[in-house]
Amino acid sequence: MPTLKDIRVRIKGVKSTQQVTKAMKMVAAAKLRRAQERAVMARPYARKLKEMLGSLSAKVDTSRNPMLSPRSEVNKVLVILITADRGLCGAFNTNAIKLASKIIHEDYPALHSKGGVSLICAGSRGFDFFRKREYKIVKGYSAVFQHLDFSTAKEIADIASGMYLRGEVDRVLVAYNEFKSVLAPNLREEVILPIAPETSGKESSSDYIYEPSPSAIIDELVPKHLNTQIWRMMLESSAAEQAARMSAMDSATENAKELMRTLNISYNRARQAAITTELSEIVSGADALSN
């Protein structure tokens, strides 16, 4: 049975932990606001760029652009995994890693057994997980979300598009956490190469004149679209990470509060038992002296 000193030490430790988790929750809440603003601001541009690409694709032969043309056979796959650089954010990293593992082992098991699945890991957690298990990693990025920059997204897009154009991979997928709300991140799996243009669903009645030509504009838009989509996904993941960390630290703070309540009850009971024992010993001693 723990002594009163043991319980006091544990109460002090839990209280210190509660102060840390509460501070981390406040920091995550402040970072979440900025990350959410960046993610929300990136969405309209990425969406409109995709719609514009879809509108132009309907007017030209997309087979001329290799990044718009699906391969007849998929023999090699590249998975871009976006995770966090740090932990203490609940199941955020675990869920993204599980999704990437599902893609590798369940969606493309035959390719994986032949070494046809490779990875690009943005974020230390995912990179460390797959590196230790000796997966085929083309490029790993650590500490990327401490100073998130567009150049990183562009570098990832350049590597993926270069491998696709050289025929080193036939499909490129991204596994990431999309920011939906503070309490409900949305785990996503998206194919970014070959690009499947989407139209807005509304046929335009206007006939535009394109300069220099629709095909030339498409050739210019495709790399911009790829850069923008990966940048948007990284921003979404950053916002989802801060939301997950804030939620996890809030739960940890509440758990510490409940644990302190339980420890205080145990401490009071142990103290009461010690006092009762001392009183019994005093009464027994007094009775022995009177006799």
CA distance 273 to 209: 90
**Sequence letter at residue 172:** V
Q: Edge-to-edge strands of the sheet including 137-141?
A: 137-141, 117-122, 77-82, 171-178, 186-193
Contact 194, 171 (CB under 8 A): yes
Contact 82, 104 (CB under 8 A): no
Kindly state the helix (H) or strand (E) to which residue 177 belongs, with its residue range: strand 171-178
CA distance 166 to 189: 24
CA distance 82 to 43: 18
3-state secondary structure of 80: strand
Helix then strand count (H, E) for the chain reads 6, 5
Assigned token pair, 93: 């990293």
Select which of 7, 78, 89, 169 is catalytic: 89
Q: Please spell the DSSP secondary structure of 108-157, one letter per residue.
A: SHHHHHTT-EEEEEESHHHHHHHHHTT--EEEEESSTTTT--HHHHHHHH
- CA 151 to chain CA centroid, Å, is 19
**Torsional class of 182: left (φ above 0), alpha (ψ -120 to 50), beta (otherwise):** alpha
* 89 catalytic residue (yes or no): yes
Assigned token pair, 217: 């504009």
Residues designated catalytic: 89
